Homo-oligomer: A and B are copies of this chain.
Amino acid sequence: MTTLLDVARRAGVSRSTVSNVVRGSELVSEATRKKVERAIAEFGYQPNVIARALRARSTTALGIVLPDLTNPFHAEMTVAAEKEASRLGFALLAINTECDRAIEQEAARVLIARQVDGVVVGGMSLGSKLPRLLLDRGIAVVFASLGDPEEREIGMVDTDDASAMEAVVSHLCELGHRDMAFVSQRLREHAGERRRHAFVKALVRRGLRPLPSAHGATAVIAHNDMQAIAMIDRLESQGLRIPDDVSIVGFDDIPLARHSRIGLTTIRSDATVIGRRAVELVLEAVRGKRLKPFREILPASLVIRSSTGKVKA
């Protein structure tokens, strides 16, 4: 392994000069820069990221915390985040928590121990301590597709839940539905509860009230597409027909939602944009310049397919 010292000797300069060249510092003459660059090329020198991290107190690594990576929405978000991070020279540590409190706590411990510069939270349990733990260690945090954080220090990028649910309820009401329910698999999931809240608000505005469970509902709104698709499977196994007996609405618009066999009515949410922006925001926070808006709400749109229909007469 070639080090700064090797390059320095080869180029006949000091290590700091080489370091300056490597880091693109301005205070190096054109002549020496050339010399050093030649030596670097000759050795194929690559700075040791570990040594640099120890000294500079920045690992150029980010974390991403997810409840379920097997959900294509989260996977797509992660892929986009990884791509953007990599483009900017950052590595991405992905941690799957299953929304389990203990695993979230452990995730925080690992992220702190590994000294990541920032963390994108793509999902967590309601009232999770994870963000606070990170913030307390000076680690930047951004919520992605997770709704509004209560704390000012946390950044966010999300689809507009409120107007999305407004559109969903409006659509269902037009189809004659009055008995609607919101379902989420894991009770007390942060994003789910926020969406449930928005859903209830939209109902109440119309003088309606949500059913406590899918039982007896003519329309079921699921926390996300995966759960909506699972719900179709469950209901159909019970002999119900979608949408004749029950209408189903998802959230995310994962690629599968538009599959001919699925045709899920859902809210379009752009995982790629959210993942990319989340990384951009967290890096802005890392660099201490929150000039641009630190919270960003993307417009939501309802995509109507075949999983919703008129309520039976």
**Interface size of A by Cβ–Cβ distance < 8 Å?**
43
Interface: A204 (CB within 8 A): no
B106 touches A86 (CB 8 A): yes
Cα–Cα, bound, A260→B232 (Å):
8
Instruction: For the complex formed, measure the closest distance between the CB of A114 and the CB atoms of chain B, giving whole angstroms.
Output: 6
Q: Does A259 belong to the interface (CB within 8 Å)?
A: yes
- Kindly specify which of A71-79, A169-177, A190-198 makes contact with the partner chain: A71-79
Cβ of A146 under 8 Å from chain B: no
Quick check: B91 and A92 within 8 Å, CB to CB? no
Cα–Cα, bound, A72→B109 (Å): 27
A2 to chain B, nearest CB (A): 13
User: CA of A78 to CA of B229 in the docked complex: distance in angstroms?
Assistant: 23
Instruction: Assess the B59–A69 pair: CB atoms within 8 A.
Output: no
Stretch at the interface among A34-42, A46-54, A122-130, A282-290: A46-54
As for how many copies of this chain the complex holds, the number is: 2
A292 is an interface residue with CB less than 8 A from chain B: no
Cβ of A93 under 8 Å from chain B = yes
Q: Is A201 an interface position by the 8 A CB rule?
A: no
- Secondary structure at the A interface, as helix, strand, loop or mixed, is helix
* Contact of B82 with A96 in the complex, beta carbons under 8 Å: yes
Whether B110 and A86, one on each chain, are in contact in the complex, defined by CB atoms closer than 8 angstroms, is yes
The residue in chain B whose Cβ has the minimal distance to the Cβ of A60 is B114
For the A-B complex with A49-B115, A70-B75 known, give 18 more contacts whose Cβ atoms are closer than 8 Å. A46-B109, A50-B50, A50-B114, A69-B69, A70-B79, A72-B72, A82-B95, A86-B110, A91-B114, A92-B94, A229-B256, A229-B259, A232-B259, A233-B260, A233-B261, A236-B261, A261-B261, A261-B262
23 contacts across the A-B interface (CB closer than 8 A) = A46-B109, A47-B113, A49-B113, A50-B53, A50-B54, A50-B114, A54-B54, A69-B78, A69-B79, A70-B72, A70-B75, A70-B76, A72-B72, A72-B75, A78-B94, A78-B96, A79-B96, A82-B95, A82-B96, A86-B106, A232-B260, A236-B260, A261-B261
Residues of A within 8 A of B (CB): 46-51, 53-54, 59, 69-70, 72, 75-76, 78-79, 82-83, 86, 91-96, 106, 109-110, 112-115, 229, 232-233, 236-237, 255-256, 259-262
